[in-house]
Amino acid sequence: MSTPMKHSSEGKGADRMISMAQAIREALAEEMRRDPLVFIMGEDVAEAGTPFKVLKGLVEEFGPQRVIDTPISEAGFTGIAVGAAMTGMRPVVDIMFGDFLTLAMDQIVNQAAKAHYMSGGKWKVPMVIRTTMGATLRKAAQHSQSLHAWFAHIPGLKVVIPSTPYDAKGLLKTAIRDDNPVLFFEHKAMYSMRGYVPPEEYTIPFGVADVKREGRDLTIVAIGRMVHVALEAAQQLAELGIEAEVIDPRTLVPLDRETLIESARKTGRVIILDEGHQSYGVTAELASVITEGAFYYLDAPVVRMGAMDVPVPFSPPLEDLTVPTSERVVETAKALCGRA
Amino acid sequence: MMSTPGPKIRAERSGYLSIDGEQWLHMYRQMLRIRRFEEQVNELYLSAKMPGLAHLYIGQEAVAVGVCEALRRDDYITSTHRGHGHCLAKGASMDRMFAELLGKAPGYNRGKGGSMHIADPDTGNLGANAIVAGAVGIATGAAFSAKMRGTNQVVVCFFGEGALGQGVLYEVMNMASLWKLPILYVCENNLYTEYTPYHEVLAGEILDRPRAFGLHAEAVDGQDVREVYVTAQRLIERARAGEGPAFLLCNTYRYYGHHVGDIDRSYYRSREEEERWKNERDPIRLLGSWLLQEHLADERVLEMIDREVREEVEAALAFALNAPYPDPDEVRRHVYADEAQL
Ligand SMILES: Cc1ncc(C[n+]2csc(CCOP(=O)(O)OP(=O)(O)O)c2C)c(N)n1
């Protein structure tokens, strides 16, 4: 039914159930062992291993020459990474909270994204920017944003959002080997989530969506942590006799249009879930891709469920209203399937 | 102890004593208010009553208090992620602060901001800010506007030494100097930017940086509220008189972790170091023993202040714990200033 490549964490040995943080760490360590040009830079990445402890232990193995603590200078060190990438290195930049990408925006959008094109293909910028996303952690408006749509909007940047430890490891290794600037978004609430990761080496190609659950009545396209919201909803829907298919694009750029369209043609009903703001965001783009590709097969308009169009509030009861939940997905799905 | 003080010390001593004893006692109380407020914040975290995290200011109280004591109520401040001390010193009340930290409706910002975003126009607080150096533009802009509007207001821009890594600080200091803006940049060097000793990520001398833009720059012992106050007072009045911006480096120390959850700190600093600062350089104890020594207060007065502050904390906390959460409709309010039209 599924190749090990596609279905990551189902039914495999419990001996290699590791956390998302550990999967990311393994990917970095393996790539740094394989290629001496790979290095990490960012704030508190060395001894502290980042505030999320994702990089814990890497400085011990690779030393402070390759796991480099920077000043709080996002524009500066991202720019340095762009220059280092253009001249032969393969930097992995750590931007602690995705919200701080704004400080490095010129370096990413005007420099990294365009150097290859503007030079007529002469310069390459093989770098990865690892950063975080996600709300509901009570971190308020400047530490909770999910800004991936901005980067997916800029030609020249690739955008990756893993939803399982297996995907995170395989995709990060691919990102490091890619010759383009890649934005790699990790959800803060998922670092401790565990999943199966095989002991042997593997990579996951960009542009291949993963069907996380098969179903015939409804397609739920979801990204990052929303994949788990979708899976929970699908579970509840199954009890009501509605079989939802859950698809994780895994990379927004490049995007696996075919898998999304094919599923929409099969089920005729689609919900798209994302933790970025709903307006002008990823849900809009995916809805339009699906509508263009599956218009005559759709039984209803594609439904978008993004984050509420408000800055993320601190107060817990307010914050919890801003992101899609499995309960709300179930309600929406029932209505979509005429079962409300 | 008994050796004859040098001329500088003697001058400082008479300078300090020329200030009304009541004012020193007020500063003592203000420092204690911050200390006790934050001890309670830590308790709230440890007992899982507070959502999220908070960055405690304990150990650095003399900076906020010494500087804000030299400000008028209508002067402005901007603050940081470690902002409770600045907000309280500028006049915030504890009950609404606690309420904000708990995400409750009567909080300063209706629970929408939380610990890192306390803002209050009534006390001239333009806002704490969770982006390192995030408020330096705002502060400089407020100084620009005060000058344009001719209001005589001064702005104090608080930030940690970590903000020295951000380019925007240099952009605005350049303009502040060019345009002689009424602003005091207060840099609190507490030795660590999160979990990294500052000298590992900072080249050269700190004071050389503002001086390169022609700012007047000085350093003080940030544990000595007397020195902070007297110096800040001079630099603030200098700015108010139109003589231009200044930069005040306050050498200080935070006693707790980077935030309340940063409990094992052994990989970046030693327990001995922490104990040394607490035992030998505590700003509240330093001022307290000076007040006793100069007979500006006796033990009884200091104890009474402590008791009153504890009562204030207790009442404020009870207010916040009993306060309701915001109405769910609140989530969509205040996205735009003209919400009625949307
Ligand atoms: C632009 C930006 N980068 C990184 C962070 C994460 N961060 C929060 S506090 C901090 C350290 C700040 O150090 P400092 O300015 O010295 O203030 P302190 O915490 O010591 O009071 C960092 C890196 C942030 N909030 N904003």
User: In CATH, what number is assigned to the domain containing residue B298?
Assistant: 3.40.50.970
Report, as an integer, the average pLDDT of A108-114. 98
B51 Cα–ligand 1 center, Å: 20
Q: Per the CB < 8 Å rule, is A48 touching B165? A: no
Cα–Cα distance for residue pair A128/A32, rounded to 1 Å: 13
Q: Which of B166, B199, B268 best tests the A interface by mutation, with the highest count of A CBs <10 A?
A: B166
pLDDT digits (tens, 9 = 90+) for B303-342: 999 999 999 999 999 999 999 999 999 999 999 998 765 5
Report, as an integer, the average pLDDT of A183-211. 98
In this prediction, residue B14 carries a pLDDT of: 78
In a domain, B89, yes or no: yes
Least trusted range by pLDDT, from A4-8, B223-227, B228-232? A4-8
In a domain, B63, yes or no: yes
Phi-psi region of B15 (alpha: psi -120 to 50; beta: other; left: phi over 0): alpha
In this prediction, residue A13 carries a pLDDT of: 59
Please determine, for residue A7, whether its predicted confidence score (pLDDT) is greater than 70.
Answer: no
On whether the A17-196 domain is CATH 3.30.450.20, my answer is no
Give A3's pLDDT tier (boundaries 50, 70, 90): very low
- Give the DSSP per-residue string, B250-268: EE---SS-SSTT----TTT
Cβ-count burial of B188 within 10 angstroms (0-12 exposed, 13-18 middle, 19+ buried)?
buried
Please determine, for residue B11, whether its predicted confidence score (pLDDT) is greater than 80.
Answer: no
In a domain, B220, yes or no: yes
In a domain, B336, yes or no: no
Instruction: Report yes or no: B300 and B79 within 8 Å, Cβ to Cβ.
Output: no
Structure tokens at B200: 């590992």
B124 touches chain A (CB under 8 A): no
**Cα torsion A197, A199, A203, A209: sign:** negative
Where in the sequence of chain A do the CATH 3.40.50.970 domains occur? 17-196
* Residue numbers of A annotated as active site: 143
Phi-psi region of B256 (alpha: psi -120 to 50; beta: other; left: phi over 0): beta
pLDDT digits (tens, 9 = 90+) for B75-108: 999 999 999 999 999 999 999 999 999 999 999 9
Structure tokens at B337: 């200033």
Residues touching ligand 1 (Cβ under 6 Å) are A 43, 72, 74, 96, 100, 103; B 81-82, 130-132, 160-163, 190, 192-194, 258
Report, as an integer, the average pLDDT of B178-192. 98
In a domain, B280, yes or no: yes
CA–chain centroid gap for B290, Å, is 22
In total, how many domains does chain B have? 1
Give A2's pLDDT tier (boundaries 50, 70, 90): very low
In this prediction, residue A322 carries a pLDDT of: 98
Mean pLDDT, rounded, of chain B: 96
Where in the sequence of chain A do the CATH 3.40.50.920 domains occur? 210-336
Which CATH number is associated with domain A210-336? 3.40.50.920
Query: Measured between alpha carbons, how far is residue A166 from residues A156, A163, A202, B13, B278 in Å?
Result: 26, 8, 10, 67, 47
Q: How many residues are recorded in chain A?
A: 340
pLDDT digits (tens, 9 = 90+) for B237-287: 999 999 999 999 999 999 999 999 999 999 999 999 999 999 999 999 999
Mean pLDDT, rounded, of chain A: 95
Q: In what order do the strands lie in the sheet with A128-133?
A: A67-69, A38-42, A90-95, A128-133, A182-187, A158-160, A251-253
Provide the CB-side half-sphere exposure for A254 (13 A, CA).
13
| Cis preceding linkage at A324, omega within 30 | no
Least trusted range by pLDDT, from A23-37, A190-204, B9-23? B9-23
- Domain residues for the domain of B200 are 21-256+266-323
Percent of chain A exceeding pLDDT 70 equals: 96
In a domain, B332, yes or no: no
pLDDT digits (tens, 9 = 90+) for A270-279: 999 999 999 9
In this prediction, residue A340 carries a pLDDT of: 74
In this prediction, residue A15 carries a pLDDT of: 76
- Give the DSSP per-residue string, B58-82: TT-HHHHHHHHTTS-TTSEEE--TT
User: In terms of Cα–Cα distance, which of A137, A136, A318 is closest to B104?
Assistant: A318
In a domain, B329, yes or no: no
Cα–Cα distance for residue pair A238/A196, rounded to 1 Å: 24
User: Which has the higher per-residue pLDDT, B110 or B1?
Assistant: B110
Cα–Cα distance for residue pair A23/A169, rounded to 1 Å: 5
* Ligand 1 atom closest to the CA of B192, numbered from 1: 20
In this prediction, residue A6 carries a pLDDT of: 43
